[in-house]
Amino acid sequence: MLSKQNYTRRLLPVLLAGAAIALLAGCSTPDSRIARHRAAFDQLPAAVQQKIRAGQVDVGFTPEMVQLALGEPDRVFTRRSENGDTEVWGYQDHGPHFSIGLGVGSGGRHSSVGGGVAMSTGGYDPDEKIRVEFRDGKVAAVDSLKK
């Protein structure tokens, strides 16, 4: 029979490997999006391809080009102004976030101490890293978060 300590030692690597696999499986990168849409990507001008590979967007890009570079938006807004309606796509930072925790418990004559490391690929982040505004089917403006 495994002691609690030995069980935890054996379980921790399995949990960390599972978290790493889940993180990598959920990642959508410009390269993975390009691979899924190779024919459309290959028809774009070299300068546009270079920006998409770098995860950048520019004025004049189509929604398809933006999706290749940045993926699906986290939020879609409609902006109404005196110039008419525009669609705005918002993107959040989906980089990994790490945290460390420690817990102490007691029950009668027994007590325990535990710890853990957690990794998340997102969570609620009210600050977007980029907003892309479309007018007449093309990017009209790009707002980037200044860090």
* CA atoms 122, 124, 129, 135: torsion sign: positive
pLDDT tens digits, 100-131: 666 666 666 776 666 666 555 544 455 678 99
Residue 120: CA atoms inside 13 Å, Cβ hemisphere, count? 9
Asked if 2 and 10 count as a contact pair (C-beta separation under 8 A), the reply is yes
Mean pLDDT in order along the chain per 10 residues (147 residues): 55 52 60 95 97 96 97 94 94 69 65 61 62 96 86
Asked if 54 and 19 count as a contact pair (C-beta separation under 8 A), the reply is no
* CA atoms 18, 21, 26, 29: torsion sign: positive
